[in-house]
Amino acid sequence: MNKPLVIIPTFNEAESVPVILKALLDLPAGLDILVVDDGSPDGTADICRTFDGGRGRIHVENRGRKMGLGSAYRHGFAWGLSRGYQSMIEIDADGSHRPEDLVSLIHAFDSDSRIDLVIGSRWIAGGAVKNWARKRELLSRVANKYAKFALGIPVADITAGFRIYRSTILEKIDFSTVASEGYCFQIEMTRKVVALNGVIKEVPITFVEREFGVSKMSIYIVIEAMKRVTLWGLQRLFHFK
């Protein structure tokens, strides 16, 4: 299919998901949407099904239990590839990724068929964050700089979760070797694209702190990322697997 597939992982996003769904459906790009829900007890999956109104543009996969962000995207990629979508978009359900910025990402993606991955970046010229605590901004900046240095990957916002992948690059990735969850999944996926000599472009966005619900960020997610990035950095330095 020529139209992009937007993949939205959800867990207890009943308040925020109608806002993001409406905004996406109103975009001129004619997007299809796949909601991958991890058995939200607040009824998120049912809300998404009802919101479609029989148009067939919103598809819901309810996995029944909490399995994680990386797992949700792996599920979504497999779903999209099996149905012939030529590009797939990652976007958060909490409203932190503005649909108006998605227009810029799609424009950049469509402007050059050599691009394999477009990243909506907070940390390049023109990018910004809104309503973030100073501590959280500092953590994100340091984490990105550390990952960039350790992995030798010239991407300013390697942890960013607002992305467009070309399906041809996704088809080349062995997802059985992708085990990360949390924002480490984004780091690992960037690393996989680079290893395949994929072309990456960053586009500035404004990241807005969520208005509804509870952040899924935890100390476990931070520790996972630090441990994996350090290991990958050592592998790169000493050339071992």
Per-residue pLDDT tens over the stretch 67-95: 999 999 999 999 999 999 999 999 999 99
pLDDT band at 217 (very low <50, low <70, confident <90, very high): low
- Provide the pLDDT for residue 215: 57
Q: What is the DSSP string of 180-192?
A: --TTHHHHHHHHH
pLDDT band at 12 (very low <50, low <70, confident <90, very high): very high
Is residue 203 a contact partner of residue 104, using CB atoms and an 8 Å limit? yes
Residue 216 has pLDDT above 70, yes or no: no
The strand pairing partners of 30, in sequence order, are none
- Provide the pLDDT for residue 159: 93
Residue 152 has pLDDT above 70, yes or no: yes
- Provide the pLDDT for residue 3: 87
**Percent of the chain topping pLDDT 70:** 94
Q: Structural domain of residue 196, as residue ranges?
A: 5-238
Q: Percent helix, strand, coil in the chain (nearest 5)?
A: 40, 20, 40
Question: CB-based contacts of 203: which residues, under 8 Å, 6+ apart?
Answer: 101, 104, 105, 108, 118, 119, 120, 121
The enclosing domain of 226 has a CATH number of 3.90.550.10
pLDDT band at 199 (very low <50, low <70, confident <90, very high): very high
Q: Tell me which amino acid residue 140 is.
A: S
SS3 3: coil
Give the integer Cα–Cα distance in Å for 100 and 85. 22
pLDDT band at 213 (very low <50, low <70, confident <90, very high): low
Buried b (16+ CB within 10 A) or exposed e, 89-111: bbbbbbbbbbbebbebbbebbee
Mean residue pLDDT of the chain comes to 91
pLDDT band at 219 (very low <50, low <70, confident <90, very high): low
Pure H helices in 83-183: 99-110, 134-151, 167-170
Query: What pLDDT, in 10s, does the model give residues 36-62?
Result: 999 999 999 999 999 987 788 999 999
Average pLDDT over every residue of 7-22:
95
Query: What pLDDT, in 10s, does the model give residues 155-192?
Result: 999 999 999 999 999 999 999 999 898 789 999 999 99
- The total of structural domains in the chain comes to 1
Write out the two tokens for 150: 């350790």
